Amino acid sequence: MNKVLLTLWVLFTPLMFSPVAVAADLAGHHHEHKHVFVNPGAEKDFCSICGMHLAKFYNTNYIVDFNHKASTQVCSIHDVSAVLKQTPMSEVKSIQVVGIHSQQFIDSNHAFYVIGSSVKGTMSRVSKLAFADKVDALDFIAKNGGELAGFEQALASADDEFNADNKMIVNKRSKMMYGKGEVIINTQCDANKLQALHETHEHQADFNVGALKAALINDNICGNIRGKRLQMAALYYHDKVLTHQHGSTHNLHRALPKNEKCPVCGMFVYKYPHWATWLQVGEKVHYFDGVKDMIKFYLAPNKYGYDYKPSDYTHVVVLDYFTQESIDATHAFYVVGSNVNGPMGAEYIAFENKQDAYTFSVDHRGNGVFLFVDLLKSDALK
């Protein structure tokens, strides 16, 4: 029965571990150890990044210990990469990983990794599996292929593949999760409780999918839904409705307030969701219908009635033109002078990936690819 349930879960969840391949390889090696979960309260069962059930993908679990905040547990090295994009490595005390054979957490720096075996990865097209013993890792390679590596190389590989894996994950979620999740949210969940949850957590960067699933359960917002139906509902609501914070992979346009006007041009921003940007100062969020207007405001907020300094901006967010994912504006790449216009005409087109920006610039006759700091030197772009 457990194998059947796990197989069904795989069908509804993107890029998961291959339980059949792993089970076959671990025959005679597996040791019984109690699973360890460190996420708080009702969140303990769920990955803090993607919300997947930690026990079902325990083979690739990680615990990231921080110097000044609580530890977090995730289900893959892809999610570790996501965590480290939000928290500088200087704030990380240690990173532990489950050893495939031992089923115990070990220091990732002491683990032996197999990269690129025939066994599928969790949240990644290329698997990166950890072993406590080098002999076990080499034996695994003999049976399943792959390359022996250390944690530093495995993490670098996850970082390099992060954008491509994210696009694939978003695509699979769009095809397999969001539609059904929307139906569940609209038909089985308490609208008043959802609104209260939205108002409480809309701008909390740390309100992840796991925390959302815990809230849906604890507050009895969606009745007794569990398993993959809970995951579908949580992913839809988290990615498409609730949040659009810095450093995460959330879709912005479904959360745009209908009464918000761009402070520069006066247009209603929600009418142009694919071009929307925003910046935050304290609890105040300013929305714009394009990067150019956001830059104008950023450089001279006093023209629009606000006495801000650049250091006051806590979050500055733009949308990747291809993926429509929210990204940190200060880390994005921008195509200037292309033949693609925004709501206000000529626009700066944002991309998370540098190669995407160069491809777009060539295809659409752009004047080049620029960084955020270049946009702030407006005279250089006229």
Do 361 and 335 contact (CB within 8 A), yes or no? yes
pLDDT for the residue 27: 40
Buried b (16+ CB within 10 A) or exposed e, 115-127: bbbebbbbbbebb
Task: Please state whether 85 falls in left (phi above 0), alpha (psi between -120 and 50) or beta.
Answer: alpha
Structural domain contains residue 16:
yes
Q: Do 148 and 259 fall into the same domain?
A: no
Q: Do 13 and 125 fall into the same domain?
A: yes
Residues in the chain: 382
Within 10 A of 295 (CB to CB), how many other CB atoms are there? 22
Q: Please name the residues in contact with 292: beta carbons below 8 A apart, sequence gap of 6 or more.
A: 342, 344, 346, 347, 348
Q: Do 127 and 64 fall into the same domain?
A: yes
Segment (H or E) for 337: none
What secondary structure letter does DSSP report for 161? H
Distance separating alpha carbons of residues 64 and 371, to the nearest angstrom: 31
Q: Do 236 and 336 fall into the same domain?
A: no
Q: Give the SS3 label for residue 213.
A: helix
Q: Do 6 and 154 fall into the same domain?
A: yes
Residue where a domain stops, chosen among 97, 125, 159: 159
Q: Please name the residues in contact with 122: beta carbons below 8 A apart, sequence gap of 6 or more.
A: 15, 16, 17, 57, 59, 60, 75, 76, 78
45-90 pLDDT, tens per residue? 999 989 999 999 999 999 999 998 999 999 999 999 888 876 777 8
Structural domain contains residue 172:
no
Q: Do 42 and 139 fall into the same domain?
A: yes
Within 10 A of 379 (CB to CB), how many other CB atoms are there? 5
pLDDT for the residue 31: 53
Q: Do 182 and 323 fall into the same domain?
A: no
Structural domain contains residue 373:
yes
Distance separating alpha carbons of residues 268 and 202, to the nearest angstrom: 20
Q: Do 261 and 187 fall into the same domain?
A: no
Structural domain contains residue 181:
yes
Do 21 and 51 contact (CB within 8 A), yes or no? no
300-310 pLDDT, tens per residue? 999 999 999 98
pLDDT for the residue 356: 83
Distance separating alpha carbons of residues 48 and 253, to the nearest angstrom: 23
Q: What's the token pair of residue 49?
A: 């990044």
Structural domain contains residue 167:
no
Distance separating alpha carbons of residues 217 and 222, to the nearest angstrom: 7
Strands (E), 215-272: none
Strand partners, 371: 333
Q: Please name the residues in contact with 169: beta carbons below 8 A apart, sequence gap of 6 or more.
A: 14, 15, 50, 123
Which structural domain, as residue segments, surrounds residue 367? 253-381
Q: Do 227 and 257 fall into the same domain?
A: no
Residue where a domain stops, chosen among 125, 159, 193: 159
Q: What's the token pair of residue 95?
A: 């990173």
Structural domain contains residue 168:
no
> Strand 92-98's sheet: what is its strand order?
72-74, 62-66, 92-98, 105-107
- Nearest partner of 56 among 21, 5, 14, 15, judged by Cα: 5
- From first to last of its 382 residues, the chain has per-residue pLDDT tens of 444 333 333 333 444 444 334 444 544 455 567 899 999 988 999 999 899 999 999 999 999 999 989 999 999 999 998 888 767 778 899 999 999 999 999 999 999 999 999 999 899 999 999 999 999 999 999 999 999 999 999 999 998 888 778 778 877 888 889 899 999 999 999 999 998 988 887 656 567 889 999 999 999 999 999 999 999 999 988 877 775 433 333 333 336 788 899 999 999 998 888 899 999 998 899 999 999 999 999 999 999 999 999 889 988 999 999 888 888 999 899 999 888 899 999 999 999 888 788 888 877 888 888 889 889 885 444 5
Q: What's the token pair of residue 99?
A: 């050893």
Give residue 369's Cα distance to chain centre. 25
Q: Do 286 and 259 fall into the same domain?
A: yes
Tell me which long-range contacts 3-6 makes (C-beta under 8 A, separation of at least 24). Answer: 6/56
Structural domain contains residue 152:
yes
The maximal CA–CA distance of the chain, rounded, in angstroms, is 71
At residue 96, φ and ψ (nearest 5 deg) are: -110, 150
Segment (H or E) for 288: strand 284-288
Q: Do 145 and 192 fall into the same domain?
A: no
Q: Do 153 and 183 fall into the same domain?
A: no
Residue where a domain stops, chosen among 242, 266, 287: 242
Structurally, the chain folds into a number of domains equal to: 3
Structural domain contains residue 111:
yes
- Nearest partner of 122 among 94, 154, 145, judged by Cα: 154
